[in-house]
């Protein structure tokens, strides 16, 4: 009997891919790029399983053209690219990569917050452009992070990892979430639950970590930005669609808030042109989980989940996370 076929949409770590080979015919792409709906249709036409990047959309139309597909492993914790209802209606299993990336993404949220608050990107661009004539006492003043109030909107496991880092900075952490955390978890990560209005009004630095759904598209728009402190920093490491980018560009240009940092964009890789004109924003290409160790862990988890879904490997029989 021929082996089932697994299609891998991105090249990654050959030693991890090799773990599939005893059980699967492996068809791994060699170019690290998004595949269009038409390309997906071709690649999935005879695939039994797929490991995909988090920008490839699997919906009812894709599934209709993939009669053998039994399992999809998403290389990311966010899974707004998967139509879970359509997958489940077709009896296709799905997994994402939670937990293995929590600490790495939390590190990066802090990196962006510090960079935006202390104007690291703009200062470096200015220096490289040859403008630096010597030390200036009142030059490049930014906002402190230590001792300030950090707000977290969306308090899952990544939000909690971000919060735990605050104790070394002696920062206060406020959070808002659909549901309040167990008091023991609140205590462990030193975070206090508040309503969204209080979070917006009191945060010196607000970090967005909520999952993207149809309901929270543009959850941060002109009204929410106007409710923040004029000295505040906004950081988005969740999904681009959560922020109204045109409203954010206006707010940054008009001094409604002081600074922002975005790792994700609504139409990525396209960036709203008004954001590119601003100096008080740090922009990065969706790399919050991109450490060498974590990307290996994410790849290994995706491979484990495919193996388990087909009854192989150490996690066989365990439902994928």
To the nearest whole angstrom, how small is the minimum distance from the Cβ of residue 220 to ligand DGY? 17
To the nearest whole angstrom, how small is the minimum distance from the Cβ of residue 291 to ligand DGY? 10
The angle at the Cα of 75, spanning 70 to 79, to the nearest 5 degrees, equals: 80
Given a contact cutoff of 8 angstroms between Cβ atoms, the answer to whether 6 and 306 are in contact is: yes
To the nearest whole angstrom, how small is the minimum distance from the Cβ of residue 6 to ligand DGY? 20
- Please give the C-alpha separations between residue 206 and each of 16, 128, 163, in angstroms, as whole numbers: 37, 29, 12
Q: Judged by CB, which is closer to ligand DGY: 78, or 142?
A: 78
Q: Judged by CB, which is closer to ligand DGY: 49, or 54?
A: 54
- Decide if residue 52 touches ligand DGY (CB under 6 A): no
Residue 286 is a catalytic residue:
yes
Q: Which residues, including other chains, have CB under 8 Å from residue 77's CB and lie 6 or more apart?
A: 96, 97, 98, 101, 105, 158, 289
Residue 103 is a catalytic residue:
no
Among the options 35, 176, 286, 295, which is catalytic? 286
Applying the rule CB under 6 A, the residues between 69 and 128 that interact with ligand DGY are 76-78, 101
Per-residue binding letters, 261-290, with ligand DGY (x by CB under 6 A): -------------------------x-xx-
Structure tokens that stand for 168 in this block: 């070394």
Residue 25 is a catalytic residue:
no
Q: Judged by CB, which is closer to ligand DGY: 67, or 285?
A: 285
| C-alpha to C-alpha distance for 279 and 249, rounded to whole angstroms | 11
Among the options 268, 296, 312, 315, which is catalytic? 268
The angle at the Cα of 176, spanning 205 to 234, to the nearest 5 degrees, equals: 25
To the nearest whole angstrom, how small is the minimum distance from the Cβ of residue 304 to ligand DGY? 16
Among the options 119, 205, 239, 272, which is catalytic? 239
Query: Would you tell me how many other CB atoms lie within 10 Å of the CB of residue 90?
Result: 15
Query: Would you tell me how many other CB atoms lie within 10 Å of the CB of residue 272?
Result: 18
Binding interface with ligand DGY (CB under 6 A):
54, 76-78, 101, 286, 288-289
């Amino acid at each position: 009997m021929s082996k089932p076929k697994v299609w891998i949409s991105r090249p990654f770590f050959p030693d991890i891919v090799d773990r599939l080979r005893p059980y699967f015919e492996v068809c791994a792409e060699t170019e690290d790029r998004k595949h269009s709906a038409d390309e997906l249709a071709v690649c999935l036409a005879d695939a039994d399983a797929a490991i995909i990047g988090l920008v490839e959309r699997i919906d009812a139309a894709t599934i209709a053209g993939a009669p053998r597909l039994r399992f999809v492993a998403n290389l990311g914790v966010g899974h707004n690219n998967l139509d879970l209802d359509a997958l489940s209606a077709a009896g296709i299993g799905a997994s994402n990569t939670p937990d293995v990336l929590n600490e790495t993404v939390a590190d990066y949220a802090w990196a962006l917050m510090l960079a935006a608050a202390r104007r690291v990107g703009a200062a470096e661009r200015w220096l490289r452009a040859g403008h630096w004539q010597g030390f200036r006492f009142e030059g490049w003043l930014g906002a402190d992070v230590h001792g300030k109030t950090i707000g977290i909107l969306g308090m899952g496991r990544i939000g909690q990892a971000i919060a735990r880092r605050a104790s070394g900075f002696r920062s206060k952490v406020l959070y808002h979430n659909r549901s309040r955390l167990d008091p023991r978890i609140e205590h462990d990560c030193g975070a206090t639950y508040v309503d969204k209005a209080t979070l917006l009004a009191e945060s010196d630095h607000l970090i967005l970590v909520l999952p993207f759904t149809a309901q929270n598209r543009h959850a941060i728009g002109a009204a929410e930005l106007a409710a923040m402190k004029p000295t505040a920093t906004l950081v988005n490491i969740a999904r681009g669609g959560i922020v109204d980018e045109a409203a954010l560009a206006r707010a940054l240009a008009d001094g409604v808030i002081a600074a922002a940092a975005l790792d994700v964009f609504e139409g990525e890789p396209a960036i709203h042109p008004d954001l590119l004109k601003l100096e008080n924003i740090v922009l990065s290409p969706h790399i919050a989980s991109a450490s060498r160790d974590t990307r290996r862990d994410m790849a290994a988890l995706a491979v484990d989940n495919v193996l388990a879904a087909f009854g192989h490997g150490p996690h066989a029989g365990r439902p994928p996370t």
